[in-house]
Structure 1
Amino acid sequence: MQVGLVGLGFMGGSLAKGIKKKCPDHKITAYDKDVSVSMQAFEEKIIDYVAQLPGADELLPEGLSTGTFESCDIVFICTPVHTVIPVIQKLQGHLKQGCILTDIGSTKGEIVEQVDRLHLEYPFIGGHPMTGSEKKGFEYSIDILLENAYYLITPSRNADSFSIQLLTNLLKSIGALVIVIKPDTHDYVTAAISHVPHVIASSLVNTVLKNDLSNKLMHTLAAGGFRDITRIASSSPEIWTDISISNKEHILQLLHAFECELASFREHLKANEDELIHKFFTQAKQYRDSFEFRTTGVIQPVFEFSVSVEDRPGMIAHIATLLAKEDISIKNIGIVNNREGFEGALRIEFYSLESMNHAYQVLKKRNYTVHPKENK
């Protein structure tokens, strides 16, 4: 199979690496607006050919195996939501008959609607991998990102059953869990579990920013639970501006529902209605505790634990060295001054569940007291 990729950022790069790992016989042609990224992917043997979008004037550096998208069976458009349609328009007339076009954007209704108006000669199937990271760029992409991750696909009117099955088979081959869903349903669901939570997380951070004391005490103490529930506020402002505008109606609808929930709590609090306040927290706890814990999702989990250590020079370096000797990569490490949500003084974050579990065993064998965070 010939696979095309437009965009080699975090998601495009992870798709390319996953396909190359699981389907080494597939040939990958890719374009990125930063030619150095394309060169890196080529040199690392992640892609087989470097391409330009039709109409591009710039010349590619010598020494690269160049190609076009004309021979591709499937082309993934891995660019921001507002650029998907312009990319499709550039590709029109430069793909073979039956080539499947798909994207990886976080909103689907607007894109599928615009595609239907274009009367494309190629089947278009919207796609949304329900996994990701606050990080962006090819250098952070990983080959296992889509393993056991839900991948929602939203066929347009011109997508036939054969095309849907072909794309589904490719995604399943790299470990994704494919669900076919209507575009509008997709946008309503993701507004609830992803888009509105990003708005709320950013609102919480801005609330602290605008109400902090003159000595910045809130900023100093903002760790533990506050840090956890606002982590997604560190996501790309460009991407989330794009998503918010694209899925405006559903976000506004669910923001209203959230505001009603807050207003109800505010009234209970004003009236000192302790039973209703208790019910508010109990209902939320019971529903959240029913969620299935998965290591992938539209909002990535954090793989971390804390360690009880003495405050002495070289302790962080000592533990980091212990883990490095076991080939365990650390994503972040540091002393926790606000211990809310952490029992130990040293917090260590990892790139994967496997790395975290391995590190846990290594440190326990050396008689460190390790405090895993409960994953619910």
Structure 2
Amino acid sequence: MNGRVFVIGLGLIGGSLALGIKDKHPQSYVIGYDVSEHNVKLGKMLGVIDEKAESIMAGAIHADLIIIATPVKETEIIINMLAEMPLKKGVIVTDVGSTKGKIVQKAQILLDKGVTFIGGHPMAGSHKSGVLAAKELLFENAFYLLTPVQDTKEEEINSLKSWLEGTKAKFLIVTSNEHDLLTGVISHMPHIVATSLVHQADHTSKKNDLVTRLAAGGFRDITRIASSSPAMWRDILLHNKEVLLQLLNDWQHEMDKVISLIKEENASELFEYFQHAKNVRDELPQNQKGAIPAFYDLYVDVPDYPGVISEITGYLAKEKISITNIRIIETREELNGILVISFQTDEDRLRAQQCIASYSNYGTTIEK
């Protein structure tokens, strides 16, 4: 396909979509706009976009595809702006927001003007942000949910899929309400729970400072997602209010059940509660991307002596394997330490495991 693609918002998601389009459709021309002039300059320098737009109108009026890659509150504002512009006949407008109900409802003003709007949500991300972290295969094997309204033409949906084919994502068609329920359960609720656990630990640490010291290990890992953008999650929760209020009510009932089992000292039911969760969790798919970015950690048993970290990273550097984070869980005199190295992809983690094994006799573990 060829034509003009206008990407509004040159962050990780918008930049990665632009790269995927440019790779699959080299004849296309990608224009970018961002409130940050720095992001726009970086995008142009890195080849993420071909040209910068001086304004949303300048980029939108001649575009064949418009991708709104901004936080959900800004997406609503931009939809209002687009509805007042003389957009090109046949243009397709889509977004990437993690909530869809209110956005699709707002997009009715575009549909009423004969402009095709198809809501979208690529369900993958990264622990890095910004256009510098953008990569064309960020969404490879990830689910990409599309939420067209009922009377959207099949050829329009297929056209959008063709534009986005370079992402190598798995497209699923769902209603906006179905989308918000699904993401509420598997993405929004876990973020709320993780954030609440951090708050609980913080409150307790005021009485016992050992909490903070002990939370440096597994607790910090299981609450990683609480480090996400507060502004983004504020808007997501307000956008998905009805779904989340019901889910939180269900969660209260679930916790009431646990409280009751503990009070009654019901050992068999408690065992079954954990056993059932273990069985369900162990059956979840392992080799595909989901709504929450996966953490590709490699645990390395290393002796506690000066220079061991630079030794390990030196091995990885020789093989040109990039890491995203590195930390030590535990080191004590005359005992092994546990070095935790994080990677962007599972492929990088497996390569690192093989690399370390070839250069040393340090044990490595991948937790499932």
TM more than 0.5: yes
Q: Which amino acid aligns with 1:156?
A: V
Measured on the aligned residues, the alpha-carbon RMSD in Å equals 1.9
- Please tell me whether the aligned partners of residues 192 and 254 of structure 1 are also in contact (alpha carbons under 8 angstroms): yes
Per the alignment, do residues 3 and 289 of structure 1 end up closer, same or farther by CA in structure 2, a change over 3 Å counting?
Answer: same
Q: Whole-Å Cα distance in 1 between the matches of residues 101 and 208 of structure 2?
A: 46
SS of the residue corresponding to residue 330 of structure 1 reads coil
Q: Is residue 30–residue 49 contact of structure 1 (8 Å, CA) maintained in 2?
A: yes
How many angstroms apart in 1 are the aligned matches of 2:14 and 2:152? 22
**Displacement, 1:96?**
0.3
Aligned mate of 2:201, from 194, 208, 215: 208
Q: Are the aligned partners of 1:123 and 1:156 in contact in 2 as well (CA < 8 Å)? A: no
**Which residue of structure 2 aligns with residue 161 of structure 1?**
154
Q: How does 1:18-57 map to 2 (within 5 A)?
A: 18-54=20-56
**Is 1:105 aligned with 2:106?**
no
Distance 1:74 1:27, change over 3 A: same
Query: 2:145 is matched with which residue: 116, 139, 152?
Result: 152
**Contact in 2 for aligned 1:18/1:146 (Cα 8 Å):** no
1:345 and 2:338 aligned: yes
Q: Is residue 2:116 matched to residue 1:116?
A: no
TM-fit CA distance, 1:371: 2.5
| Change beyond 3 A, Cα 1:226–1:360 | same
Question: What's 2:270 paired with?
Answer: 277
Provide the secondary structure at the position in 1 that maps to 2:363: strand
- Measure, in 2, the Cα distance between the counterparts of 1:214 and 1:314: 37
Offset from partner CA, 1:194-216 (integer Å, 9 cap, x none): 00110000000110000115562
Q: Say which SS state the counterpart of residue 260 (structure 2) adopts.
A: helix
Q: Distance in 1 between matches of 2:17 and 2:176?
A: 22
CA separation of 1:145/1:54 partners in 2, compared to 1, >3 Å: closer, same or farther? closer
Letter in 2 for 1:71: H
Specify the SS of the correspondent of 1:336: strand
Aligned to 1:60: none
Query: What residue is the counterpart of 1:78 in the other structure?
Result: 69
Secondary structure in structure 2 of the residue aligned to 1:76: strand
Match of 1:190 among 168, 183, 194: 183
1:185, distance to aligned residue in structure 2 (A) = 0.6
1:196/1:254 contact within 8 Å kept: yes
> 5+ residue gaps in structure 2?
none
Q: Which residue of 1 aligns with 2:348?
A: 355
Q: Distance in 1 between matches of 2:120 and 2:202?
A: 36
C-alpha contact (below 8 Å) 2:24/2:166 kept by paired residues: yes
Deviations 1:234-263 (A, max 9, x none): 110010000000001101101111111111
Cross-structure match for 1:288: 281
- In structure 2, what residue type is equivalent to 1:169? S
1:256 paired residue number: 249
Counterpart for residue 62 of structure 1: none
Q: Indicate whether 1:304 and 2:297 are aligned.
A: yes
The residue that corresponds to 2:88 in the other structure is: 96
Which residues in structure 2 correspond to 1:214-233 (within 5 Å)? 214=207, 216-233=209-226
2:71 equivalent to 1:69: no
The 3 A distance-change label for structure 1 pair 269 and 214 is closer
Give the distance between the partners of 2:131 and 2:331, measured in 1 at CA.
34
Structure 1: give runs of 5+ residues left out of the alignment.
56-66
| Letter aligned with residue 97 of structure 1 | K
Partner residue, 1:313: 306
Q: Distance in 1 between matches of 2:38 and 2:193?
A: 36
- Please list the CA deviations of residues 135-183 of structure 1 after superposition, one character each: whole Å capped at 9, or x if unmatched: 3211222221111110000013563222111011222332011000000
Q: Summarize deviations over 1:101-160 as a string: whole Å, max 9, x none.
A: 000000001111122255232100000011113432112222211111100000135632
Name whichever of 305-314 and 236-245 sits farther off. Answer: 305-314
Counterparts of 2:295 and 2:34 in 1: how far apart (Å)? 29
Separation of aligned partners in 2, 1:337 and 1:94: 61
- What SS does structure 2 have at the residue aligned with 1:298? coil
SS across alignment from 1:333: strand
Count of residue pairs brought into register by the alignment:
361
Aligned-partner Cα distance in 1 for 2:41–2:114: 31
Q: Which amino acid aligns with 1:31?
A: Y
CA contact (8 A) 2:17 2:164 kept: no
Change (3 A) 1:120 1:52: farther
What amino acid maps onto 2:144 in structure 1? Answer: Y
Asked if the contact 1:308/1:368 (under 8 Å) is kept, the reply is no
Q: CA deviation at 1:298?
A: 1.1
AA aligned opposite 1:194: S
**Using a 3 Å threshold, how does the CA distance of structure 1 residues 77 and 102 change in structure 2: closer, same or farther?**
same
TM-score relative to the length of structure 1: 0.91
